[in-house]
């Protein structure tokens, strides 16, 4: 029996040979089609988390699958010592349809953010200015490398790996007074997510982002927008910054850009591009033919197809139905987000991890954030019919609360650990 066919063998090999940093749920997937995944036994699951906002075109999308098969048969990797046509084409599309003039490719969101941080510091270094401080927001998440955990405004990610990279300040999200007070002559950049995904899907205020852009203009500070999770159609526009009526100086992308193939991108203006000289930065795998083939297909789908309209349509349906459920069930405290990135917060005592398990048992996949919020970030071609399946299942679970409580204590008895801590996999969920 192969590990690919035997679930128990899969679990044993994972436990024995993989670093235990994920605490996976009790399922293994082997096949996908559209917005659905299939486990080793053949059971079907509606994927409402999309690989954490990665599978932008769903699973086994015909255009993406066909292009990747063709590219694999021709050339998977080629060194950046040479021109790579797929990289050139993808850079053109990203710059053509965004604020940017230049693009650098890497392999992940964390790497894209590392490049953004280096680029901001390099920009002022080559100008002969001693500006290196980066201001980020509390409760932000920018990655898991040593540089990006230093940028992340959550101590739980930084503490075990101290001393952290110096030069970062953290301010309260949506608090303009605190941000202004943090600016010094050494400030190089402000780095923000327009929607804080890891902390529970919290969008930035429109006025706040516009005021940040104005402050950066006045002080000569660079504005870095982390769109690792919100970019490439996730919020109903090609890039989330378009919803705020501003443009950044630097933007990071990843997740949905490759439709499932690892890729990251750091975009910037021509002016800011002077922060990197030949040899200042690089990536062995970044921008290779296979990854950029995936990125080109994804971009083509958004440029030539009506995917953004679908995001708006299905998003409107989901928000409407979720607000109806909120009005009906007092256990739902809040529904927030933008496009197909939605956080559903429940009242204290309702366990997001337990709710995620109940949804899994009903064949629906979501993620849990903190103790009381579930997040959905499904494929962007999710149909309204499939969205109705999610609403129907969630409604069933909420109706059944009296028989099957959604609090950890009620469900598991007095010997259970405190809510949100039973398996401690919420805080450890991979975000970038």
Question: Residue 226 is encoded by which pair of tokens?
Answer: 């982390």
Helical H segments across 75-195, by residue range: 85-96, 109-126, 146-151, 155-158, 176-182
Question: Residue 129 is encoded by which pair of tokens?
Answer: 């200015």
Alpha-carbon dihedral 321, 325, 328, 330, rounded to 10 degrees? -150
Question: Residue 216 is encoded by which pair of tokens?
Answer: 């950066």
The span from the CA of 249 to the CA of 239, in Å, is: 14
The span from the CA of 110 to the CA of 143, in Å, is: 4
* Active-site residue (options: 118, 255, 302, 390): 255
Backbone angles phi and psi of 332, in degrees to 5: -90, 115
Q: Is 428 a catalytic residue?
A: no
Nearest to residue 252, comparing CAs of 364, 401, 104, 144?
Answer: 104
Q: Is 13 a catalytic residue?
A: no
Q: Is 16 a catalytic residue?
A: no
* Active-site residue (options: 104, 105, 141, 346): 141
* Active-site residue (options: 47, 226, 249, 386): 226
Angle of helix 289-304 versus helix 62-74 axis, rounded to 10: 150
The span from the CA of 105 to the CA of 287, in Å, is: 5
3-state SS assignment for residue 29? strand
Helical H segments across 169-288, by residue range: 176-182, 206-219
Backbone angles phi and psi of 367, in degrees to 5: -115, 160
Helical H segments across 26-102, by residue range: 50-53, 62-74, 85-96
- Do 112 and 142 meet the contact criterion of CB atoms below 8 Å apart? no
Give catalytic residues, as residue numbers: 141, 226, 255
């Amino acid at each position: 029996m192969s590990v690919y066919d035997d679930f128990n063998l899969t679990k044993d090999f994972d436990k024995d040979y993989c670093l235990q940093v994920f605490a996976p749920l009790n399922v293994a997937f082997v096949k996908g089609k559209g917005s659905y995944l299939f486990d080793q036994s053949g059971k079907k699951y509606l994927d409402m988390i999309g690989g954490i906002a990665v599978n932008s075109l769903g699973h086994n999308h015909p255009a993406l699958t066909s292009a990747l098969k063709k590219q694999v048969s021709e050339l998977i990797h080629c060194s950046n010592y040479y021109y790579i046509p797929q990289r050139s084409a993808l850079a053109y599309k990203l710059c053509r349809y965004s604020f940017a003039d230049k693009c650098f490719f890497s392999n992940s969101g964390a790497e894209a953010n590392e490049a953004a941080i280096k680029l901001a510091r390099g920009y002022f270094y080559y100008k002969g200015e001693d500006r290196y401080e980066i201001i980020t927001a509390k409760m932000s998440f920018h990655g898991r490398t040593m540089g990006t955990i230093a940028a992340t405004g959550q101590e739980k990610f930084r503490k075990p790996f101290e001393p952290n990279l110096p030069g970062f300040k953290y301010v309260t999200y949506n608090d303009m007074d605190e941000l202004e007070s943090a600016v010094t002559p050494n400030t190089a950049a402000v780095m923000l997510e327009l929607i804080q995904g890891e902390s529970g899907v919290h969008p930035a205020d429109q006025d706040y982002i516009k005021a940040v852009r104005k402050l950066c203009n006045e002080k000569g500070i660079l504005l870095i927008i982390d769109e690792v999770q919100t970019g490439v159609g996730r919020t109903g526009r090609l890039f989330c910054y378009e919803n705020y009526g501003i443009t950044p100086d630097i933007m990071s992308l990843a997740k949905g850009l490759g439709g499932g193939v690892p890729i990251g991108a750091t975009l910037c203006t021509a002016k800011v591009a002077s922060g990197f000289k030949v040899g200042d930065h690089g990536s062995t795998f970044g921008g290779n033919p296979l990854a950029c083939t995936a990125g080109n297909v994804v971009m083509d789908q958004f440029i030539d197809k009506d995917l953004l309209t679908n995001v708006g349509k299905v998003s409107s349906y989901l928000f409407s139905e979720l607000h109806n459920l909120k009005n009906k069930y007092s256990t739902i405290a809040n529904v927030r987000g933008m496009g197909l990135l939605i956080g559903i917060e429940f009242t204290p005592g309702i366990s997001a991890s337990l709710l995620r398990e109940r949804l899994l048992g009903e064949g629906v996949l979501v993620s849990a954030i903190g103790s009381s919020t579930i997040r959905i970030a499904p494929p962007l071609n999710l149909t309204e019919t499939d969205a109705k399946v999610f609403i129907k299942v969630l409604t069933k679970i909420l109706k059944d609360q009296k028989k099957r409580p959604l609090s950890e204590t009620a469900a598991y008895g007095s010997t259970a650990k405190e809510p949100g801590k039973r398996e401690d996999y919420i805080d450890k969920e991979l975000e970038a």
